[in-house]
């Protein structure tokens, strides 16, 4: 009660100070509160002082403002003495936005970004993108992040996508900001917000998902369902959603449910599958024997039909076959082994199946998860059916790394070496990375060795933060979420792999033996890409090999990346590369801003602009480059 009187008095005095003396002196509510203060003054000297200060406001109007301020100052001090000194409830940790605080950022550096993120019109994407490339640390600033979040709903889809990428980079510390003001009935911005909350927060935000699901619109509910799959305790709730909803939301609930590995889920899916085989599509993660038997029968029947009618007529049929074969992943046992053996035995007739363009049917699916730079293309190897089902077995191995799966791969390699060698080789590589070179060059014999070399090393990259070589793969996943896996290999690299890649090593037997078909050193795209992935700033021996190699193979994007990595000047080489590359104006700007400081970029842009105008003087074609130059000239850092 006492504190309430003091707070009411403080409010009336603050209002009067703003509104003016006429309002204050005629305020009946103030008079009522002062009567209560007079009552308290009779009991305490402190309140006598407060009462005297308040009366002076009315009695000495020549010094009205100073009297009000003096009364407020005394009142503030008095309120502090009335504050609680102990907090009984459970405390919560303060959320910090980043692991590494970035301080002393001038507002003038943030202002162009804030304007780009909070206004409309052209040119905004270029401002945000170029700053993100050159100064990603600016996006950790708490003054800027609310604008990035707000602009997730930008009508320009590319800018909204970029904002989402930026927020992913910031990590789970921004989840409280994403949750603040979240509207479950919202549209584009809220849909991207919930995706980020699920990706970054995972299981930790389960209470938030449960609270928001009943209030959300269907598209947001679908994303929340993915979050619910992170916690096994949501099993019954997901079953309820799957049984009560329809369409895409029902599908999402079934996919989410399949990620929860327990007997109740298996029995639930088995019951559904017995009624309708289409529910097998939700059994990717199930290892229930009856489900495996049903799946294997379905796969075999479909492949037998295609061997008799070897023509797929539509893209949908091609996709359906690929998805059906993908369901073989993460399953073990004799039934799966029998089916894989049957597929290997029928490799040739299965190879006769044609796609909708009447070409031999192959599955082109990229599982590598390495992107050292934005402008290097992935190494993709099209797979025939028998090779693809071996890939499903490899993903089973990656997920479980168990002895029974290793035995399955070994048995299939011994019986079908031409088909199973890539998977067997990768397994040996992961099982004993330190001695992998000796094992692979001695115990395996196969023809397409260059492709096999790429098939191993395209998944390996040196991680500067972990100081380790890492094997990174995108796992076969359901439609709900892309799963990935990283396997730490070690902090050293057997240099014989590099010598082999550069054609400096003679191998007389095994997987990489030399013949007239195999000349590693001329395989420049493969060689350069792998060199980039394996580059390690701390390995001087490797540096002494990599730099001379790229001096002989200049003016590629990999060459530019290596020079940048080792801190060497790149402006001239980048200019030469871009003059010869088939890049549009937007790509030229993006590549230059990715690699160069503003000073370097300024010179590269001018050189390229002169070169392009000498071929075609039409200025309207060079808007992006000229805008980039103008942006650098306007920058405070230049």
Domain of 589 in residue numbering reads as 569-634
Looking at 87-91, 123-127, 273-277, 577-581, which range is the least confident one? 87-91
Same domain (yes/no): 159, 201: yes
Instruction: Please tell me the least confidently modeled range out of 28-42, 238-252, 301-315, 512-526.
Output: 512-526
Of 247, 282, 317, which residue is a domain's last?
282
In this prediction, residue 17 has a pLDDT band, given cuts at 50, 70 and 90, of: confident
On whether residue 533 sits in a domain, the answer given is: yes
Give the pairing of strands 468-474 and 484-490. Answer: antiparallel
Q: Does pLDDT of 418 surpass 70?
A: yes
Distance CA 205, CA 140 (A): 22
Where is pLDDT greater, at 193 or 612?
A: 193
Q: Which of 221, 172, 179, 227 is nearest to 203 (CA)?
A: 227
Confidence of residue 516 (pLDDT cuts 50, 70, 90): very low
Mean model confidence pLDDT for the chain: 85
Using alpha carbons only, what angle is made at residue 412 by residues 355 and 291, rounded to the nearest 5 degrees? Answer: 70
Q: Which residue has the higher pLDDT, 320 or 95?
A: 320
Same domain, 537 and 619: no
Q: For position 27, what pLDDT does the model report?
A: 78
Question: For residue 305, is it within any domain?
Answer: no
What does the alpha-carbon distance between residue 573 and residue 544 come to, in Å, rounded to a whole number? 20
- Asked if 485 and 581 sit in the same domain, the reply is no
Residue 360 lies in a domain: no
Residue 636: its pLDDT value, please?
A: 58
102: in domain: no
Q: Are residues 538 and 591 in the same domain?
A: no
Residues 74 and 180 occupy one common structural domain = no
Backbone angles phi, psi at 383, to 5 degrees: -120, 140
Task: Judge whether 389 and 346 are in contact, CB under 8 Å.
Answer: no
Cut 0.85: pTM above it: no
Let me know if residue 306 belongs to a domain.
Answer: no
Would 374 be classed as within a structural domain?
Answer: no
Q: Which pLDDT tens digit goes with each residue over 259-287?
A: 888 899 999 999 999 999 999 999 999 99
Q: What is the pLDDT of residues 452-476, one digit of tens each?
A: 788 888 899 999 889 999 999 999 8
DSSP code at position 202? G
Q: Are 399 and 330 in contact (CB under 8 A)?
A: yes
Closest C-alpha among 296, 264, 511 to residue 392: 296
In this structure, the answer to whether residues 39 and 180 fall within a common structural domain is: no
Q: Is pLDDT of 524 > 60?
A: no
**Residue 176 pLDDT:** 92
Q: Is 126 a member of any domain?
A: yes
Cα separation, 151 vs 314, in Å, equals 39
Contacts 24+ apart (CB under 8 A), 30-36: 33/5, 33/8, 33/9, 34/9, 36/5
pLDDT surpasses 90 at 385: yes
Nearest to 373 by CA among 485, 252, 529: 529
Burial of 362 (0-12, 13-18, 19+ CB in 10 A): middle
**Final residue before a domain boundary, out of 282, 313, 335:** 282
pLDDT band with cut points at 50, 70 and 90 for residue 517:
very low
Average pLDDT (529-537) is 89
Q: Verify that 67 and 118 share a domain, yes or no.
A: no
Q: Which residues contact 491 (CB under 8 A, 6 or more apart)?
A: 467, 468, 469
Residue where the block lists tokens 């009366």: 55
Amino acid 321: pLDDT:
95
CB distance 307 to 353 below 8 Å:
yes
d(CA 369, CA 483): 10
Mean pLDDT for the stretch of residues 116-132: 86
pLDDT at 387 over 50: yes
Distance CA 455, CA 461 (A): 13
The CATH number of residue 123's host domain is: 1.25.10.10
Q: Are residues 62 and 153 in the same domain?
A: no
Q: Is residue 557 part of a domain?
A: no
Q: Quickly tell me which residue has 């945000």 as its tokens.
A: 128
Q: What's the CA gap between 129 and 536, in Å, rounded?
A: 28
By mean pLDDT, which of 53-67, 188-202, 238-252, 297-311 is the weakest?
Answer: 53-67
Q: Are 471 and 487 in contact (CB under 8 A)?
A: yes
566 touches 598 (CB < 8 A): no
Q: Residue 23 — pLDDT band, cuts 50, 70, 90?
A: confident
Percent with pLDDT over 90 in the chain: 44
Residue bearing the bigger pLDDT, 28 or 537: 537
Tokens of 454: 């790429």
37-52 pLDDT per residue, tens: 888 888 788 888 888 9
Q: Give how many domains the chain has, as a whole number.
A: 4
Cα(169)–Cα(109) distance, integer angstroms: 20
Q: 471: which residues sit within 8 A by CB, 6+ positions away?
A: 429, 430, 459, 460, 486, 487, 489
pLDDT given at position 441: 78
How many C-beta neighbours within 10 Å does residue 422 have?
Answer: 23
- 238 and 269 in a common domain: yes
Distance from C-alpha of 476 to C-alpha of 616, rounded to nearest angstrom: 48
Residues 588 and 615 in one domain: yes
- Backbone φ, ψ for residue 354 (5° rounding): -110, 150
- Do 24 and 136 lie in a common domain? no
- Rounded CA-CA distance 356/352 in Å is 13
CA proximity to 37, closest of 88, 89, 1: 1
Last residue of a domain, one of 250, 282, 314: 282
Instruction: Name the DSSP class of 468.
Output: E
Which of the listed ranges 96-110, 313-327, 612-626 does the model predict with the highest average pLDDT?
Answer: 313-327
Lowest model confidence (mean pLDDT) among 23-32, 336-345, 487-496 = 23-32
- Answer yes or no: do 534 and 428 share one domain: yes
């Amino acid at each position: 009660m006492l504190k309430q009187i003091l707070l009411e008095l403080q409010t009336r005095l603050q209002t009067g100070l703003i509104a003016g003396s006429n309002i204050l002196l005629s305020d009946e509510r103030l008079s009522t509160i002062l009567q209560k203060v007079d009552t308290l003054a009779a009991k305490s000297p402190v309140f006598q002082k407060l009462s005297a200060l308040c009366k002076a406001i009315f009695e000495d109007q020549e010094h009205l403002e100073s009297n009000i301020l003096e009364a407020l100052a005394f009142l503030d001090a008095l309120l502090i003495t009335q504050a609680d000194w102990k907090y009984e409830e459970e405390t919560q940790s303060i959320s910090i936005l980043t692991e590494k605080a970035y301080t002393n950022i001038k507002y003038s550096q943030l202002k162009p970004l804030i304007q780009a993120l909070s206004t409309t019109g052209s040119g905004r994407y270029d401002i945000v993108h170029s700053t993100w490339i050159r100064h990603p640390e600016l996006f950790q600033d708490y003054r800027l992040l609310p604008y990035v979040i707000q602009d997730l709903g930008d009508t320009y889809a590319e800018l909204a996508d970029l904002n989402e990428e930026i927020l992913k980079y910031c990590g789970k510390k921004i989840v409280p900001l994403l949750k603040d003001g979240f509207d479950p009935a919202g549209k584009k911005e809220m849909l991207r917000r919930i995706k980020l909350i699920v990706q970054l927060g995972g299981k930790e935000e389960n209470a938030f998902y449960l609270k928001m699901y009943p209030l959300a619109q269907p598209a947001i509910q679908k994303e929340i369902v993915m979050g619910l799959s992170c916690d096994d305790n949501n099993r019954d709730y997901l079953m309820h959603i799957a049984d009560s909803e329809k369409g895409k939301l029902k599908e999402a609930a079934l996919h989410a449910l399949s990620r929860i590995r327990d007997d109740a889920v298996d029995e639930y899916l088995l019951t559904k599958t017995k009624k309708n085989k289409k529910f097998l599509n939700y059994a990717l993660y199930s290892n229930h024997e009856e489900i495996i038997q049903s799946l294997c029968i379905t796969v075999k029947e479909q492949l037998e039909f295609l061997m008799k009618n070897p023509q797929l007529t539509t893209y949908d049929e091609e996709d359906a076959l690929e998805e059906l074969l993908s369901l073989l992943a993460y399953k073990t046992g004799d039934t799966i082994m029998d089916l894989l053996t049957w597929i290997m035995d029928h490799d040739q007739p299965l190879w006769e199946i044609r796609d909708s363009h009447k070409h031999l049917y192959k599955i082109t699916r990229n599982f590598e998860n390495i992107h050292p730079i934005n402008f290097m293309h992935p190494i993709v190897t099209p797979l025939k059916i028998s090779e693809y089902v071996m890939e499903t077995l490899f993903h089973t191995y990656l997920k479980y790394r168990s002895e029974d799966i290793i035995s399955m791969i070994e048995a299939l390699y011994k019986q079908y070496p031409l088909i199973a060698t890539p998977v067997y080789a990768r397994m040996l590589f992961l099982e004993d990375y330190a001695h992998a070179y000796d094992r692979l060059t001695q115990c395996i014999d196969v023809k397409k060795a260059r492709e096999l070399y790429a098939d191993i090393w395209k998944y390996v990259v040196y991680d500067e933060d972990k100081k380790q070589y890492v094997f990174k793969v995108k796992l076969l996943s359901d439609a709900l979420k892309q799963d990935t896996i990283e396997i730490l290999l070690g902090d050293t690299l057997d240099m014989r792999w590099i010598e082999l890649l550069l054609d400096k090593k003679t191998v007389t037997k095994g997987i990489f033996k030399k013949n007239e078909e195999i000349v590693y050193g001329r395989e420049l795209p493969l060689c350069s890409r792998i060199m980039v992935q394996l580059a390690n700033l701390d390995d001087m021996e490797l540096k002494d090999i990599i730099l001379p190699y790229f001096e002989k193979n200049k003016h590629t994007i990999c060459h530019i990346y290596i020079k940048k990595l080792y801190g060497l000047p790149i402006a001239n080489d980048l200019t030469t590369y871009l003059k010869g590359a088939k890049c549009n104006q937007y790509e030229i700007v993006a590549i230059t801003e990715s690699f160069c400081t503003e000073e370097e970029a300024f010179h590269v842009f001018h050189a390229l602009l002169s070169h392009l105008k000498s071929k075609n003087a039409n200025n309207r074609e060079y808007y992006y480059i000229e805008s980039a130059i103008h942006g650098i000239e306007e920058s405070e850092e230049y």
